[in-house]
Structure 1
Amino acid sequence: MLGLGDLEAIVMKVLWSADRSMKVRDVLEVCVNDGRQPAYTTVMTVLDNLHRKQWVNRELDHGAYRYQPALSRAEAASRALRQVLEESGDAEDALLHFVRSASDQESTILENALRRLR
């Protein structure tokens, strides 16, 4: 995901896939089960950084933080698209190139979304 480091993106995927808020140890357990071997302190630092960057919310639960995404995966993707358009130097041209490369399904989604917003 744009704006995230590799491990930050992995941690966000773990949190987006969860059905509840998670402690550092919970996130670490999922990472280990997926074949990664980050240290507990590394995951703790990544979650703290994600909180500082406002990607996750946290609440104290019996002396340990529980983390959950501050925004949905779709909202994060939208934020990334917005950033790409702002950095393109020519948002109109970038959008036109994207539309030309869109699949039939993506074109239909865009057309329906534009119709709903008008």
Structure 2
Amino acid sequence: MSRRRLGQLEAEVLAVLAGAGGFLSPQEICDRLDGEPAYTTINTILFRLLDKQMVERTKHGRAYTYRLTADESGLAAERMFGHLRLAHDPSAVLSQFVHGLSPHEEAALRALLEDPGGET
């Protein structure tokens, strides 16, 4: 089994919570992730996300359940901005990104670039 970097696993936990639309237990999150991550690892990630105020938790019986409080699209965009800011050649990074888009994603990007305010 290959190990994921903590940042990647954190992003996967956020994606699971974003798709849930409600509260999930750490075990439910583990069950929805590939690769059978350790329950304790998921708990650690949830504590860090709680500290960053990206999730909230509520008591459910003797355990806690968690829900996403941050905007997933904003979080993803901020990660992308971070990578661009750190790149020696941001244009090359953007070029690689665009070339990796699916036809559907490319069409969505073109529509946004042609009408950034969505006023069509």
- TM-score, with length taken from structure 2: 0.63
Residue from 4, 17, 20 that aligns with 1:18: 20
Note if contact 1:27-1:43 (Cα within 8 Å) is conserved in structure 2.
yes
Question: For residues 20-56 of structure 1, what are the alpha-carbon distances to aligned partners after superposition, in whole Å with 9 as ceiling and x for unaligned?
Answer: 123xxx22144247672624x44332211122234x2
| Structure 2: runs of 5+ lacking an equivalent | none
Report the CA distance between 1:113 and its aligned residue.
0.1
**1:21 partner letter:** F
Percentage of pairs with the same residue: 27
Report the CA distance between 1:112 and its aligned residue.
0.6
Note if contact 2:23-2:65 (Cα within 8 Å) is conserved in structure 1.
yes
Counterpart mapping for 1:1-118 below 5 A: 4-6=7-9, 8-22=10-24, 26-32=25-31, 36=36, 38-39=38-39, 41-54=40-53, 56-61=54-59, 65-100=64-99, 102-117=101-116
**2:17 partner letter:** L
What CA RMSD, in Å, does the superposition of the two structures yield over aligned residues?
3.5
Note if contact 1:58-1:68 (Cα within 8 Å) is conserved in structure 2.
yes
Aligned length: 112
Note if contact 2:30-2:38 (Cα within 8 Å) is conserved in structure 1.
yes
User: Which structure would you say has the larger RCO, counting Cα contacts within 8 Å and 6 or more residues apart?
Assistant: 1
Note if contact 1:14-1:27 (Cα within 8 Å) is conserved in structure 2.
no
In structure 2, C-alpha distance between the alignment counterparts of 1:33 and 1:19, rounded to whole Å: 14
SS in 2 for 1:77: helix
Q: Which has the higher helix share?
A: 1
**1:58 partner letter:** E
In structure 2, C-alpha distance between the alignment counterparts of 1:28 and 1:3, rounded to whole Å: 18
Note if contact 2:59-2:65 (Cα within 8 Å) is conserved in structure 1.
yes
